[in-house]
Chain A
């Protein structure tokens, strides 16, 4: 190995890559402009939608209002609700989002209240639809308060204390440190996004520095130089690795900054309304992630980035053109995403078996580290296996670079 030669190749590739618009777009433009744009844009739209949904009165249809005149009157008087005339096709109207919810009072409802068998009120809603869900919540809350009022009145009439209906209160208190709460919330998501970014960042340079060079005819020019092929491949590998790590780091930094910025902006009234709470909470979670956990994630991701850079260079090297390389490399994204997703699934735990499955093991151990769990035996095994896989990929890459049938594939 000649570090002088490796550095010469690396800095040339760096200059060349930084002048390439396509690389600049994937490595710098997307993280610095697109990610904040998406986060702020999505935050703005969501805040607007939620605010509008909250300020708008819930359109509700009362079926069988004559069976519960007092409650129906209460709903009509409540400014949160806008009562529309009853119609037989109310289910269709909910499905078509004409009205948000409908409430049905069965025949003999008022009389049934004081009978031993409590009558049922049915709320019809559109599951998964935001406005309908909000309407159902408001209606349910109104009906629960109304029922509690009836109970309290009944107890007062009989001279009984209100505690008969509520003999005790139930409260819950979080004992987990804030960083563990954040870790649990984002533990599965962070490694997943890191793995994808790592792969995306390495893809374009790997293809350009191998298949792209073959296609443009510069590979043969380079091979004519006295620098050994090991040094050439290491220079190219370091460039691919740099692009991968830069994309990942820049994307994560911009993601964190944008999330915090968006949370403050929307919570501070930039977007206003009820969405602010949700956004503010998200930003809070970002701040609650254990910094040691994040450092651990970065340490574990380095051999993974090496594996991706060397693996992608090896695969791209087989191609004669950039286009051919794309057809080999693109399906690999699915090969990487699937084990990364597996690590985020509930029920998949870190065991000695899963600790040896590449990518899944990283996803699982990162989730644990971000939750404040440091299982050093697993961490050592996973880091060791990652280093081994990365070394194998790099060895294979150097070997392929020395094969005439690969480099001069006709």
Chain B
């Protein structure tokens, strides 16, 4: 389970002074559930997820992941999390097998257990053809499969996906979406961030709309549709953030 309470992160920026990248965000995600974080670029999704994955430290508020506090038990939180983002790349000079094995070892797994897990993941993700080839020669699909295997090697209870389909072709993006659903079906706690409305609409059990660092709306798809009297996710999003002018102003602030 993930529980985020009043989580806040500020940065100092030369032009803008102190920026509240994540501002007092509170939400909760249960096992077997996908929580969608929907927001425009620069809304604060990645910063929030990085704090949950202990890559960044919050300035205030708290977050617990699988029962561990992100500020006090960083290593235990990371051991319980599989973090997949557009920015988490592969080591090009390692083979897929070496890449997965490396992360198995970093997670404290024994070599025999890693070997078995690699075989199992290669079966599930159909990776046998390229398991012993170097990652820098991979197609985008192969890279994504290897990244997924890397995040799953230690069988984490919590999965965090930060815009995982960014820049991917349709087929690979569909495979990722299928995989995210599969994680939920296996009882994992899943957070999925995206600015693609259709993905969030299709996948998520609960949706949090983040705008300018703040969680401006939260609920199931039907709750949000009811609250904003709209059926289309894009319209719900625009209304939740305060209209197109507010959205444009927030994007302008990033520049």
| In the complex, residue of chain B having the shortest beta-carbon distance to the beta carbon of A410 | B11
| Residues of chain B with a CB closer than 8 A to A224's CB | 53, 55, 78, 81, 83, 88
Whether A8 is near chain B, meaning CB under 8 Å from some CB there, is yes
| Residues of chain A with a CB closer than 8 A to B75's CB | 226-228
| In the complex, residue of chain A having the shortest beta-carbon distance to the beta carbon of B101 | A12
| Residues of chain A with a CB closer than 8 A to B89's CB | 216-218, 220-221
Please, what's the 1-or-0 string for B123-134, where 1 marks a CB less than 8 Å from any CB in chain A?
000000000001
Q: Which of A14-22, A70-78, A179-187, A367-375 contacts B (4 or more CB under 8 A)?
A: A14-22
Whether A288 is near chain B, meaning CB under 8 Å from some CB there, is no
CA distance A16 to B93 in the complex (A): 6
CA distance A16 to B94 in the complex (A): 7
Question: Are A16 and B106 CB-contacts (below 8 A) given A224-B53, A224-B81, A404-B56?
Answer: no
| Residues of chain A with a CB closer than 8 A to B106's CB | 5, 8-9, 222, 225-227
Residues of chain A in range 316-347 having any CB-CB distance to chain B below 8 Å = none
| In the complex, residue of chain B having the shortest beta-carbon distance to the beta carbon of A222 | B106
Residues of chain A in range 202-230 having any CB-CB distance to chain B below 8 Å = 216-218, 220-228
| Residues of chain A with a CB closer than 8 A to B79's CB | 226
Q: Are A408 and B55 in contact (CB under 8 A)?
A: yes
CA distance A226 to B78 in the complex (A): 5
Q: Are B55 and A220 in contact (CB under 8 A)?
A: yes
| In the complex, residue of chain A having the shortest beta-carbon distance to the beta carbon of B151 | A224
| Residues of chain B with a CB closer than 8 A to A226's CB | 75-76, 78-79, 106-108
Question: Are A216 and B88 CB-contacts (below 8 A) given A224-B81, A226-B78, A226-B108?
Answer: no
CA distance A9 to B90 in the complex (A): 15
Please, what's the 1-or-0 string for B63-103, where 1 marks a CB less than 8 Å from any CB in chain A?
00000000000111011010101011111111000100011
Please, what's the 1-or-0 string for B36-54, where 1 marks a CB less than 8 Å from any CB in chain A?
0000000000000010010
Whether B188 is near chain A, meaning CB under 8 Å from some CB there, is no
Place the interface of chain B in its size category. Answer: 20 to 34
| Residues of chain B with a CB closer than 8 A to A227's CB | 75, 106
**Which of B75, B87, B106, B150 has the most C-beta atoms of chain A within 10 angstroms of its own C-beta?**
B106
Q: Are B55 and A8 in contact (CB under 8 A)?
A: no
B185 smallest CB distance to A (angstroms):
23
Whether B28 is near chain A, meaning CB under 8 Å from some CB there, is no
Whether B145 is near chain A, meaning CB under 8 Å from some CB there, is no
Q: Are B94 and A225 in contact (CB under 8 A)?
A: no
| Residues of chain A with a CB closer than 8 A to B105's CB | 8
CA distance A344 to B76 in the complex (A): 53
Question: Are A19 and B93 CB-contacts (below 8 A) given A220-B88, A224-B81, A224-B88?
Answer: yes
| Residues of chain B with a CB closer than 8 A to A5's CB | 106
Q: Are B102 and A12 in contact (CB under 8 A)?
A: yes
Whether B117 is near chain A, meaning CB under 8 Å from some CB there, is no
| Residues of chain A with a CB closer than 8 A to B91's CB | 12, 16, 218
B58 smallest CB distance to A (angstroms):
11
CA distance A279 to B94 in the complex (A): 46
A13 smallest CB distance to B (angstroms):
10
Q: Are A218 and B55 in contact (CB under 8 A)?
A: no
CA distance A404 to B57 in the complex (A): 8
Question: Are A220 and B85 CB-contacts (below 8 A) given A12-B102, A225-B78, A226-B78?
Answer: yes
A289 smallest CB distance to B (angstroms):
39
Residues of chain A in range 1-31 having any CB-CB distance to chain B below 8 Å = 5, 8-9, 12, 15-16, 19-20
| Residues of chain A with a CB closer than 8 A to B74's CB | 228
| Residues of chain A with a CB closer than 8 A to B78's CB | 224-226
CA distance A221 to B151 in the complex (A): 9
Q: Are A15 and B55 in contact (CB under 8 A)?
A: no
| Residues of chain B with a CB closer than 8 A to A404's CB | 56-57
CA distance A16 to B102 in the complex (A): 12
CA distance A352 to B87 in the complex (A): 52
| Residues of chain B with a CB closer than 8 A to A216's CB | 89, 92
Question: Are A221 and B108 CB-contacts (below 8 A) given A226-B79, A228-B75?
Answer: no
Our pick among B55, B76, B92 for the contact of A223 (Cβ within 8 Å) is B55
| Residues of chain B with a CB closer than 8 A to A12's CB | 91, 94, 98, 102
Residues of chain A in range 155-211 having any CB-CB distance to chain B below 8 Å = none
CA distance A404 to B55 in the complex (A): 8
Q: Are A225 and B93 in contact (CB under 8 A)?
A: no
Our pick among B76, B87, B103, B150 for the contact of A220 (Cβ within 8 Å) is B87
CA distance A363 to B195 in the complex (A): 59
| Residues of chain A with a CB closer than 8 A to B102's CB | 8, 12
Q: Are A221 and B76 in contact (CB under 8 A)?
A: no
CA distance A220 to B103 in the complex (A): 13
Given contacts A218-B89, A223-B55, A408-B56, 11 further A-B contacts (CB under 8 A): A8-B102, A12-B91, A16-B91, A16-B94, A19-B134, A220-B88, A221-B90, A224-B53, A224-B55, A225-B78, A226-B106
B residues lining the A interface (CB < 8 Å)? 50, 53, 55-57, 74-76, 78-79, 81, 83, 85, 87-94, 98, 102-103, 105-108, 134, 150
The 4 A-B residue pairs whose C-beta atoms are closest, nearest first, are A217-B89, A225-B106, A226-B79, A221-B88
Could you list 7 examples of A-B contacts with CB < 8 Å? A217-B87, A221-B89, A221-B90, A223-B55, A224-B53, A225-B78, A226-B79
